[in-house]
Amino acid sequence: MAQSTIDQDTLHRYLDRHLLGSESGLDHFKAAHGTWAGTAFEERFESLHQQVKADQEDLKKIMAALGCSPRPIGKLLAPVARLAGKANPFNPLRQHTQAAAQVQLDVLTGLLNAKLRMWQTLLLMLPHEQRLDRALLQDLSRRADSQIKQLVALSDETWADRFAPQEHHDGEGHSR
């Protein structure tokens, strides 16, 4: 087997940080599922949550194949990352008809784009790192692209509910 020409420490830190981000990302998707519970879109958000969870498991397998284990700082920060996702700072009231829901969808799309770029970056490393699995990385890239398209479709299908004219009240309860 050919020697890797990739700096292993840098690669391991890169993957470890993506794993840490995926901890928070999973909880952001779970929070989005809660936001859309009881709507026609609930199952689609649950499906996305499960897809992202499967991708995280594949990331762990890639890391293991590369001899990369979660770093102590990552283990320390993982609960904080998960708490950030659970707190749902982008849509704390979990209302799917408010502007905060659009921000939540935009952030989720950004998280998926970051994951897609990670898979694409790893594909670029294939000639230099023989332990990477081309078929798996291509599949993960396709899956991330599909997830982005699914989320964009959800956003496109539901935007009107969030931006429809609404009655607004001032601080004293008067309509404006």
Q: What pLDDT score was predicted for residue 123?
A: 98
Q: How far apart are CA 68 and CA 58, in angstroms?
A: 13
Residue ranges per domain, the chain? 8-162
**70: number of Cβ within 10 Å:** 17
Confidence of residue 147 (pLDDT cuts 50, 70, 90): very high
Task: Indicate if the pLDDT at residue 93 is higher than 60.
Answer: no
What's the pLDDT at 79? 53
Tens digit of each residue's pLDDT (9 = 90 or more) over 56-72: 999 999 999 999 987 66
Residue 122 has pLDDT above 80, yes or no: yes
Q: Is 94 left (phi over 0), alpha (psi -120 to 50) or beta?
A: left
Task: Report the amino acid identity of residue 133.
Answer: D
8: pLDDT confidence band, cut at 50, 70 and 90? very high
| Mean of the per-residue pLDDT values of the chain | 84
Instruction: Please report the pLDDT score of residue 170 as a whole number.
Output: 63
Which candidate, 55, 18, 60, 11, places its Cα nearest to that of 144?
55
The token pair that represents 164 in the structure block: 């429809």
Q: Does the 8-162 domain belong in CATH 2.40.50?
A: no
Distance of CA 64 to the CA centre of its chain: 21
pTM of the shown model: 0.81
